[in-house]
Structure 1
């Protein structure tokens, strides 16, 4: 599932010759017994590989008890790229606890960072562009065919300060059968650096809010940046439109997340070794209606500011907490760090927030104050103090 990709690094080599992630006779980074256990086995040493050299690598290197391996060393956790997944997944034996960051038929159908996006005013213009009269007929078959997605342009976006913005929201899927999805409380709004207008459809600084585009604007200020945290946006909208309207908006976004995942649930090849962190791009119109722009299967992990770096570090730390390589979770958690379990083979509701079982409140808190520090303190207590 997904559209625009974020970034990728070089793959570690051809598939059939790659050593298995965890060879059956080499252990699993711990001294526990093999086979199924009544209680989840806890591990204090995790071997990881990572093809990216940005925020995720920083997070993994700083995680207590995690050891980086390179080349063809055995690993327990691999933040891989798509090329490795396609070449090696089917040839690699993995022990029960091993995890990789994509599902095996993960795919992307668009470029990242706003590349390849352009606007048309009329449908007939698309047909003219498709004909591409600049090439001779005999050369057309020699050119690789590219896939494009055609979307209706939302002409009435919600504006703040006269500027267009969209939302980046993070959803973590740890299983498709049954569907188990977590919604991250933090996220951000990405603003255009130029006041909105429909007079020019060729000005990307007006219409594309991607940071990669906006930071090249002549008057871009790197000190101010072009992002608001999700909490800032929710507070702004609440002050302007009231709590009820904003809660309805965020419930509509919850519905987008779930319906989009359900739409590919029978397509994605589920595997217990896989998880996926998705970056959803949502546009809000002036009527407070959310529109799904795209789902990024490889959301960018590059930070554009110190605040952005800290947010993505928290996001990735909490992602690894949910994946739970150390075996610390009971499996009954509804919140892990900044992630709230929103779907577990059905809707998940907040504890105690119901009236006679009728007015159930979804366990989603996008843009709400994050009490992750207190919650993580319980999660990260040394293993020795958790054992009774």
Structure 2
């Protein structure tokens, strides 16, 4: 009898040991399994996804199995591929004569200008130099494509710094190196919107359950991450990452880091602040632009993404607002951190996983990939349909 009861339960596996996941599985009465046994739900790290969907493995998922990543999610979550896909998307829309691809008199996109000017290094080195010379007083930010949490990032404002970097990294004349050494270099947004004199960025969570047709949901409970040191565009502070990078992995080592609120604010607080300082109309327009930009980025990657019905993805979108209240898409994370730096953080992430599971595994039942997933209004929790 017990065996019969057990068989109707979802069997879960994860290789990410985080309490917000485990508590959610337990609350549903799901049963822990191992990767080598039968399982229905696998919350995987990106490395595991690579292995499962690799050509050598040829692993086939059955209709009652779902995983939390698309096979080639990196088309959106690797910094270089995201930019490449957005550039291609713009060109295609231009060819079609789409009004979305409209440009102003300076040749800038009116609607699709939501990522900073970006080049890949070493491949686009000459194009970057040309752009740099047009505006030699600009600051640029360099990021390794395959790293996270602010690792390996630095700012430059002189060509000699790039030349030094290329010598240190590449030997003479940019000898081609394996793909993992690719960097992106982007125009630094040097006039960010400041609150209390400090720079911040926004983290939004976006759940995608299908690429074609695109089905995506925005989580209402995002947050802002603040730097611990007041912002200055001064060249003397270019090396001070406590001024420039909002990543908690960096800021938590700062002298002024506050472990109680973790340098975080809820998006709701930001909205209230902006409504009281800039007005409701302007604030609403800003948030509409952010939602629109997220959908456009997903559309840009959609043609090259493998739309596997066994997959869903909860992306972490990082966005910066400049002093003119224009939002910029900085990057998209495939495995947004499920670690909690504060009590509020833990509650929010627990709810995020709970609401995600309610959409991708409705009623806590064993998944069935043949059924179309259209959750009821009640099942959405804090998600809204984008």
Shorter-chain TM-score: what band?
Answer: 0.7 to 0.9
Report the alpha carbon displacement of residue 210 of structure 1 after superposing the two structures with TM.
0.7
What's the TM-score, normalizing by structure 2?
Answer: 0.72
Map residues 1-388 of structure 1 onto 2, 5 A cutoff.
44-89=8-53, 91-107=58-74, 108=78, 109-132=145-168, 146-199=181-234, 200-324=237-361, 326-327=364-365, 331=374, 333-334=376-377, 336-342=380-386
Q: Which moved more, 1:208-217 or 1:221-230?
A: 221-230
SS at match of 2:150: coil
**Separation in 2, partners of 1:104, 1:122:** 39
Report the alpha carbon displacement of residue 234 of structure 1 after superposing the two structures with TM.
0.8
Report the alpha carbon displacement of residue 55 of structure 1 after superposing the two structures with TM.
3.7
Structure 2: runs of 5 or more not aligned: 79-144, 367-371
**Separation in 1, partners of 2:283, 2:254:** 32
**Separation in 2, partners of 1:332, 1:160:** 38
Report the alpha carbon displacement of residue 61 of structure 1 after superposing the two structures with TM.
3.5
Cα distance change of structure 1 residues 198 and 142 upon mapping to structure 2, 3 Å threshold: closer
Report the alpha carbon displacement of residue 135 of structure 1 after superposing the two structures with TM.
7.0
> Is contact 1:171-1:183 (8 Å) kept?
yes
**Separation in 2, partners of 1:135, 1:273:** 41
What's the TM-score, normalizing by structure 1?
Answer: 0.72
**Separation in 1, partners of 2:295, 2:179:** 35
Cα distance change of structure 1 residues 144 and 64 upon mapping to structure 2, 3 Å threshold: closer
Report the alpha carbon displacement of residue 105 of structure 1 after superposing the two structures with TM.
1.4
**Separation in 2, partners of 1:138, 1:156:** 34
Report the alpha carbon displacement of residue 290 of structure 1 after superposing the two structures with TM.
0.5
Q: Please identify runs of 4+ aligned residues in structure 1 that moved more than 4 A.
A: 134-145, 327-330
Report the alpha carbon displacement of residue 219 of structure 1 after superposing the two structures with TM.
2.7
SS at match of 1:113: coil
Report the alpha carbon displacement of residue 125 of structure 1 after superposing the two structures with TM.
2.9
Cα distance change of structure 1 residues 129 and 276 upon mapping to structure 2, 3 Å threshold: same
**Separation in 2, partners of 1:245, 1:100:** 39
Report the alpha carbon displacement of residue 122 of structure 1 after superposing the two structures with TM.
3.0
> Is contact 2:20-2:346 (8 Å) kept?
no
Cα distance change of structure 1 residues 151 and 49 upon mapping to structure 2, 3 Å threshold: same
> Is contact 2:10-2:365 (8 Å) kept?
no
Q: Which protein is richer in helix relative to its size?
A: 2
**Separation in 2, partners of 1:337, 1:278:** 17
> Is contact 1:55-1:312 (8 Å) kept?
no
> Is contact 1:59-1:317 (8 Å) kept?
no
Cα distance change of structure 1 residues 158 and 207 upon mapping to structure 2, 3 Å threshold: same
Cα distance change of structure 1 residues 246 and 117 upon mapping to structure 2, 3 Å threshold: same
- What's the CA shift string for 1:271-318, capped at 9, x where partnerless? 000011100001011111111111111111111011101111110111
Report the alpha carbon displacement of residue 72 of structure 1 after superposing the two structures with TM.
1.3
SS at match of 1:173: strand
Cα distance change of structure 1 residues 145 and 96 upon mapping to structure 2, 3 Å threshold: closer
Cα distance change of structure 1 residues 91 and 156 upon mapping to structure 2, 3 Å threshold: same
Taking only aligned residues, the RMSD between alpha carbons, in angstroms, comes to 2.6
